[in-house]
Chain A
Amino acid sequence: MKLLDWIIVVTYLVYVIWDGIRMTKNSNSKEGYFLANRSLPWWAVGLSVMATQLSAITLVGTTGQAYTDGMRFIQFYYGLPFAMIILCVTVVPFFHRANVFTAYEYLEKRFDVRVRTLTSFFFLISRGLGVGTIISAPSIVLSIVFGWNLIATIFAIGMSTTIYTVFGGVQAVTWTDVKQMFIIFFGLGVCLIVILMGFPANVSMLDGLHLAGSLGKLNTVDTSFNLQEKYTLWSGLIGGLFLMLGYFGCDQSQVQRFLTAKSVDEGRTSLLMSAFLKIPMQFFILLIGVLVFVFYQFNAPPIVFNANEVAKAQQNAQFQTIQKNYETAFNERRDAAIRFTTESPEFQQNYIDADKKFNETRKAAVQFVRETSNKDFNDVNYVFPTFVLQNMPMGIIGLIIAAIFAAAMSSIAAELNALATATTIDFYRRLYKPEATDGHYVAVGRISTFIWGIFACIVAIFATNLGSLIEVVNKFGSFFYGSLLGVFVLAFVVKRAKARGAFFGLLFGSASVWIASLYTTIEFLWFNVIGCLITVLFGYFISLTVEKNSK
């Protein structure tokens, strides 16, 4: 990275912190700090909803995934628009009219304090650990690719976000999210132009897409019904629907976004913005990953994108032979790609065969790296940052790093703010100090935000040493969403549901997902369906054991 890149990154960080802190004056009341006085316009809330979901690892991982696996991942989002409609009909008006600060506060009104506390506790545990991984994952990648100090990177991302969230509350979170979304897409737009400029003069974007399409990288609809297949039309429509209902409807980090909207109508419109834009947005991000893949048809890609792993493997003499085979296979594939795009479509099969051979040599190289250095290493997240570092001009690197920071910070800020809100409202105010001034609760909210920020950075440091922790946390999230959604389904839909049914239904639902994850090979999107159905079924039958007129 050159001086100009550093100037861009530092300017971005200073601006975001300043911009967030100046919201402090509007955040001195409880309603102001946690809910922005329910005054925000739909477009700001809508952008904040999308920014919260778009974390750095989503940005970096999605482009990497498109590079290795093509566009299949887009099916993950096919259930989202339908989830948004259901939420607009049910959750948005329910929560707005109930005048609540947290989603779980509503559950006390419907059931009892036990259900509220348990669901809020589940949220704090899963999100508290989750926010640590949201910080650690991009920090690991950036520190390896750019040679930065890992702990300094974690604190640069984590604490800069904590500072403006502590002072500005939800208003700072929302308005910085809006600006961060523009930075992310401006950065990606510039990136797209630079990638296209890197193609050979006689190869157009359409030619590039034909290349990618020949290798099955542009498959966006897989109609096979297979529970062991991660991304299909059905896992996206059904499993994705349940996941999105759980995430947008029951996770405080998202619920708090639409609670800040001016009215029920504005809350609905903010969610429907995602319904219209999310799939095209993900398509654009995946397209960048695919075009990086096309770029590397004409320019030699690193044998493995994670430079640390390559350095360890290079110490072994056998690696030189592997590298030589890899280079030969690359040259053959490049020639086949040029013939296919510039001479005749008849060369398509030659190109497919050359790619097969290239993949075999790469597979051998990756296997060798696994055996000699780290058997758990995953290259996907290193593709995009390595590409940026090695191929982007001065200034653009800084812009893309700022965009990755923006993606990380927009998610972290919303999570910290939601964690602080649940801590203050569901635990401190409900269980410890029900009567206090607004200023007192705002102070508790600020302290909670700061403590959660420090906690997240510490978790992030530990998560870097325990690779499997990230997997555990992600799985825990899947246990949580389906079951929590089940509790809200009981609350909204099942009139006969009682507090005891909801409480034990939630426990059974979480346990069932845990068992499914241990003893079956069902892919994680289906966990949300299982957790929700088991919670509703058990919740309903246990509720039948309670007298009809009691709570």
Chain B
Amino acid sequence: MEKEKNQTVGEKPFAFWNRVYFAVVITTIVVISALWAFSRYFS
């Protein structure tokens, strides 16, 4: 209820943003892992 109150009309729902934030976290983990693999491959 509190969350819904804080959300302005026209904004995308919280569920949408939670999925985006989750995608950012996963992408960052994948990118850091890829960089680690890159270092290992060329070392």
- CB neighbors of A among B28-43 (8 A): 28, 31-32, 35-36, 38-39, 41-43
Q: Is the interface of A mostly helix, strand, loop or mixed?
A: helix
- CB neighbors of A among B12-41 (8 A): 12, 17, 20-21, 24-25, 27-28, 31-32, 35-36, 38-39, 41
Q: Is A467 an interface residue (CB 8 A)?
A: no
Q: Which residues of B contact A210 (CB under 8 A)?
A: 42
Q: Is A78 an interface residue (CB 8 A)?
A: yes
Q: Is A143 an interface residue (CB 8 A)?
A: no
Q: Is B11 an interface residue (CB 8 A)?
A: yes
Q: Which residues of A contact B8 (CB under 8 A)?
A: 97, 263-264
Closest to B20 in A: A272
> A93-B6, A265-B12 known; A220 and B43 CB under 8 Å?
no
C-alpha gap A233/B41 in the complex (Å): 19
C-alpha gap A218/B32 in the complex (Å): 13
Q: Which residues of B contact A434 (CB under 8 A)?
A: none
C-alpha gap A473/B4 in the complex (Å): 44
- Are A268 and B36 in contact, CB atoms less than 8 angstroms apart? no
Q: Which residues of B contact A213 (CB under 8 A)?
A: 39, 41-43
Interface size class of chain B, counting residues whose CB lies under 8 Å from the partner chain? 20 to 34
Q: Is A84 an interface residue (CB 8 A)?
A: yes
C-alpha gap A78/B24 in the complex (Å): 12
Q: Which residues of A contact B25 (CB under 8 A)?
A: 81-82, 85
- Are A263 and B10 in contact, CB atoms less than 8 angstroms apart? yes
Q: Is A221 an interface residue (CB 8 A)?
A: yes
C-alpha gap A219/B38 in the complex (Å): 9
Residue in A81, A84, A214, A263 whose CB lies within 8 Å of B11: A263
Q: Mark A76-94, 1 if CB is under 8 A from B, else 0.
A: 0010011011001100010
Closest to A223 in B: B36
Q: Which residues of A contact B20 (CB under 8 A)?
A: 272
Q: Mark A260-291, 1 if CB is under 8 A from B, else 0.
A: 00011100100010011001100100000000
Q: Is A212 an interface residue (CB 8 A)?
A: yes
- Are A280 and B31 in contact, CB atoms less than 8 angstroms apart? yes
- Are A216 and B43 in contact, CB atoms less than 8 angstroms apart? yes
Q: Is A444 an interface residue (CB 8 A)?
A: no
> A85-B21, A93-B6, A264-B11 known; A219 and B28 CB under 8 Å?
no
B6 to chain A, nearest CB (A): 7
Q: Which residues of B contact A268 (CB under 8 A)?
A: 17
Q: Which residues of A contact B43 (CB under 8 A)?
A: 213-214, 216, 218-219
Q: Mark A89-104, 1 if CB is under 8 A from B, else 0.
A: 1000100010000000
- Are A88 and B11 in contact, CB atoms less than 8 angstroms apart? no
Q: Which residues of B contact A89 (CB under 8 A)?
A: 17, 21
Q: Which residues of B contact A265 (CB under 8 A)?
A: 11-12
> A84-B24, A275-B24 known; A221 and B31 CB under 8 Å?
no
- Are A218 and B42 in contact, CB atoms less than 8 angstroms apart? yes
C-alpha gap A265/B35 in the complex (Å): 30
Closest to A217 in B: B42
A172 to chain B, nearest CB (A): 28
Q: Is A209 an interface residue (CB 8 A)?
A: yes
- Are A221 and B35 in contact, CB atoms less than 8 angstroms apart? yes
Q: Is A74 an interface residue (CB 8 A)?
A: yes
- Are A276 and B39 in contact, CB atoms less than 8 angstroms apart? no
Residue in A81, A97, A219, A233 whose CB lies within 8 Å of B27: A81
> A97-B8, A265-B11 known; A209 and B27 CB under 8 Å?
no
- Are A219 and B39 in contact, CB atoms less than 8 angstroms apart? yes
B27 to chain A, nearest CB (A): 6
- Are B10 and A220 in contact, CB atoms less than 8 angstroms apart? no
Closest to A206 in B: B42
C-alpha gap A265/B21 in the complex (Å): 13
A81 to chain B, nearest CB (A): 4
C-alpha gap A85/B25 in the complex (Å): 9
Closest to B41 in A: A213
Q: Which residues of B contact A218 (CB under 8 A)?
A: 38-39, 42-43
- Are A279 and B31 in contact, CB atoms less than 8 angstroms apart? yes
- Are A78 and B39 in contact, CB atoms less than 8 angstroms apart? no
- Are B42 and A212 in contact, CB atoms less than 8 angstroms apart? yes
Closest to A221 in B: B36
- Are A276 and B36 in contact, CB atoms less than 8 angstroms apart? no
In this complex, which of B6, B11, B25, B32 has the most chain A Cβ atoms within 10 angstroms of its Cβ? B32
Q: Which residues of A contact B21 (CB under 8 A)?
A: 85, 88-89
> A218-B42, A220-B38, A272-B20 known; A78 and B11 CB under 8 Å?
no
> A264-B11, A283-B35 known; A272 and B24 CB under 8 Å?
yes
A217 to chain B, nearest CB (A): 9
Q: Which residues of B contact A216 (CB under 8 A)?
A: 43
Pairs across A and B, CB under 8 Å, 22 listed: A71-B39, A78-B32, A85-B24, A85-B25, A88-B17, A89-B17, A89-B21, A93-B6, A213-B39, A213-B41, A213-B42, A214-B43, A219-B39, A220-B32, A220-B36, A220-B39, A221-B39, A263-B10, A264-B11, A272-B24, A275-B28, A279-B32
4 nearest interchain CB pairs?
A213-B42, A220-B35, A81-B28, A221-B36
